[in-house]
Structure 1
């Protein structure tokens, strides 16, 4: 198993003794624009969206050095908590709108037959238990259940952004 991560999360994982490959190392492209662009890259989204048993997808992935990503675990920027602060400015709110996280989540959820996507820390233990019982895999049924959570979360996240901006 290899862990692919960005900035602060990668640092925390390393501090806890885990080996981590930085997304920028994998993509060959640095984080940029004050961290606004980290995971928005074809090597990430191709790795999430590639249909594993489609020969043309497999050929293109190999041609472009895209390694399939089997699991995505994302905690979105805390938009609602940020805008709940009494002194929150519009600029702070805007900087706490996650772009890469929802993009990865939606890509992974779309490809649920091949990718496990976790947005709720309450799902960590049951997914780990399933992986222990199956030698590291997660069932399509579990992946579908988790994918549905992604769309519920991203809809709620976008609704919170819409509501906040409507009041400005």
Structure 2
């Protein structure tokens, strides 16, 4: 792309963090919905609408929830990933964040089907995401600003997949710290 992805993500998530204290007494769905609205309005490029949609859809799936089971986690991520696919019209192999979310989501589904804890489910999702992140390196970008680079996008990790990985890892770190 044009190398501003990290700057845009930092700006959006800083604004979301500033809003969190005002949302402390709200349910998980409400919090995620608010974060989604902030991200849509404050992250530039395609990432703002994509991440915003992820959080908005995840929030809708978790309306009125105060705690999360592994099934809830999977359901919310499924809604969010569906939103990314629909909004970005992404396919596996396009070298986008979607390339990371699909295997991570499959790992969450497997964990939910096998009655694993949310923490274990997130660990499994991270393992899948790490490999998916590496798998974006040899791809040529077909979507987003990176697609303008054509063959020059080959050999570089996708920025959206990288920020998605960092978001997922931060969630795991938070869940692990709280347990």
More helix by proportion, 1 or 2? Answer: 2
TM-score between the two structures when normalised by the length of structure 1: 0.30
Which has the greater radius of gyration? 1
